[in-house]
Amino acid sequence: MQYSQILMIEDDPAVAQGLCEGLEREGYTVIWKSTGKAGVEYAREHNPHLIILDIRLPDGSGFDFCREMRMMKLRQPILMLTARREEVDKVLGLEMGADDYVTKPFSLKEVRSRVRALLRRAYGELAMENSDMVYAADLVIDRTGGQVWRGNDLINLTPTEFRLLTMMAQHAGQALSRRQILDAVWGHTADIESERTVNVHIRRLREKIETDPSRPELIMTVPGIGYRFSG
In whole angstroms, what is the distance from residue 175 CA to residue 185 CA?
A: 16
How far, in whole angstroms, is CA 13 from its chain's centroid?
25
Residue 104: the pLDDT is 84
Reported as type and span, the H/E element at residue 209 is helix 192-209
Q: Which residues are within 8 A (CB) of 59 and not within 5 positions of it... i.e. 6 or more apart? A: 35, 36, 37
DSSP state of 28: -
- CA-nearest of 45, 44, 52, 57 to 20 is 52
Q: Where are the domains of the chain?
A: 5-125, 130-229
Residue 194: the pLDDT is 75
**33 — pLDDT class (breaks 50, 70, 90):** very high
Q: Which residues are within 8 A (CB) of 196 and not within 5 positions of it... i.e. 6 or more apart? A: 87, 90, 91
Answer CATH for 130-229 from 3.30.700.30, 1.10.10.410, 1.10.10.10, 3.90.1010.10: 1.10.10.10
Per residue in 142-161, pLDDT tens? 887 888 988 778 999 999 99
Residue 16: the pLDDT is 95
Report the topology of domain 5-125: Rossmann fold (3.40.50)
Per residue in 12-32, pLDDT tens? 999 999 999 999 888 889 999
For residue 110, pLDDT over 60 is answered with: yes
